[in-house]
Amino acid sequence: MSQEIKIANLIKLSNLKTKALRLKKILKDNKDILNEEDFINQIRKKRDISHKEATDLKGMDIEKQLRVLNDKDISLLTFEDTLYPKNLIDLEDAPPILYCKGKLLPGDCNAIAIIGTRKATEYGKTVARNMARKLSCRGVVIVSGMARGIDTQAHIGALESRGRTIAVMGTGIDQIYPPGNKNLAPKIMENGALLTELPPFSSPLPYHFPERNRIISGLSKAVIAIQAPLRSGVFSTVKWALEYGRDVYALPGDVTRKVSEGTNRLLKMGAIPITDYRDVIRNTELDILEKEQIQPQINDLPEDEKRVYLLLEQNPKTADTLAYEAKMKPQHLLGVMALLEIKGFAREVGGKRFIKNDL
């Protein structure tokens, strides 16, 4: 019972709208009473939180949030837990409380972040995916934000090589965002983790993402920016990376494209140019382990995935055409395509058009 009370109190603290450093101090100063039911009253009396904050916390449906953790097998970590990410421990503004779905491992400190715009070109997506796959099959953990575009391709690239990947969310752990990645999220959990500092039911509000970006930078030994316009969240992630002393890489891009203006600006500011995964291995201290690459086997696919795969060609086919040819509902077809992409059998080339991936 005391453990459940402790978790409920941690959930309450995670609902405080305050800076990480203050929250960490509250936790440190009051860890001996975390398993007591009147925890909030006690820290209010000590003036660690204000009367208004205590009143707001008491008015929240913490039981509802607690049920999310119980129902969805989500773990709650504090900065003093053994599984708390090693790369975050010494950072002053690291989140003192993390929600985790999946599994963290000690080796996850051997990580690189791959980030970029949601509106990436096919070239940018291909580079992100290939970079992630090649680093991942050498034992590097791939960190990103599970957004559309570059982030999604980075996660998929890691999964294609049977590697580990961590997605840092700008929502509650129960809110998969964007909804289009609902099939990707379980695969990330099987081969890594979903992480967030936000309590359950937190929506994807704009101000959540810059804060999320500091966690992406903190978890990683270096950050690779693939494509970004001049106004991009990539600059937020890079700012944190520089503050934390992480290496920053940027992919040189076509000077006529807006999606490359930001990364080209980063290069002018001193980012390390990257054109090959070996650039990271040469410049950033990583533990490199060459793993045997496993080629996916068509016969291992479930029947509906195999049926769609056999309809794919090197020339793009639309989702509607594939749904008609496979005799599937369009929504089911899109779910199948997401799984084929994760497994490395297919690739989207824009506009819900798909081609067969070279195996």
| Residue range 138-165: mean pLDDT, rounded | 95
| Residue range 39-66: mean pLDDT, rounded | 92
Compute the distance between CA of residue 70 and CA of residue 65 in angstroms, rounded to an integer.
9
- Residue partners of 27: CB distance under 8 A and separation at least 6: 13, 34, 78, 79, 96, 97
DSSP letter at 107? Answer: G
| Residue range 189-214: mean pLDDT, rounded | 96
The rounded percent of the chain whose pLDDT value lies above 90 is 80
Judge contact between 236 and 218, C-beta under 8 A: no
Query: What local confidence, expressed as pLDDT, does residue 292 receive?
Result: 54
Instruction: Give the DSSP letter string of 32-50.
Output: GGTTSTTHHHHHHHTTSS-
Pinpoint the residues of the chain covered by CATH 3.40.50.450: 106-283
Sheet with 317-318, edge to edge strand ranges: 317-318, 353-356, 346-348
**pLDDT tens-digit readout, 299-334:** 778 899 999 999 998 789 999 999 999 999 998 999
Taking alpha carbons only, the member of 148, 207, 143, 196 closest to residue 172 is: 196
| Residue range 274-292: mean pLDDT, rounded | 87
Compute the distance between CA of residue 117 and CA of residue 196 in angstroms, rounded to an integer.
20
Q: Is the pLDDT of residue 350 over 80?
A: no
Query: What local confidence, expressed as pLDDT, does residue 122 receive?
Result: 86
**pLDDT tens-digit readout, 91-115:** 999 999 999 999 999 999 999 999 9
- Residue partners of 278: CB distance under 8 A and separation at least 6: none
Pinpoint the residues of the chain covered by CATH 1.10.10.10: 298-356
Instruction: Give the DSSP letter string of 306-342.
Output: HHHHTT--SS-EEHHHHHHHHT--HHHHHHHHHHHHH
pLDDT-based confidence at residue 269 (cuts at 50, 70, 90) = very high
pLDDT-based confidence at residue 167 (cuts at 50, 70, 90) = very high
| Residue range 279-300: mean pLDDT, rounded | 79
CA distances from 33 to 5, 9, 27, 28, 182 (A): 10, 10, 10, 11, 38
Q: Is the pLDDT of residue 358 over 70?
A: no
Q: Look-up: residue for tokens 């990683």?
A: 220
Query: What local confidence, expressed as pLDDT, does residue 126 receive?
Result: 87
Q: Hey, is 87 helix, strand or coil?
A: helix
**pLDDT tens-digit readout, 19-38:** 999 999 999 999 999 999 99
Query: What local confidence, expressed as pLDDT, does residue 265 receive?
Result: 97
The rounded percent of the chain whose pLDDT value lies above 70 is 97
**pLDDT tens-digit readout, 173-184:** 999 999 999 999
Judge contact between 336 and 310, C-beta under 8 A: no
Topology adopted by domain 106-283: Rossmann fold (3.40.50)
Q: Hey, is 23 helix, strand or coil?
A: helix
| Residue range 229-236: mean pLDDT, rounded | 94
Name the CATH architecture for the domain at 298-356: Orthogonal Bundle (1.10)
The amino acid at 35? N
Query: What local confidence, expressed as pLDDT, does residue 291 receive?
Result: 59
pLDDT-based confidence at residue 70 (cuts at 50, 70, 90) = confident
- Residue partners of 13: CB distance under 8 A and separation at least 6: 23, 26, 27, 97
The pairing of strands 165-168 and 141-144 is: parallel
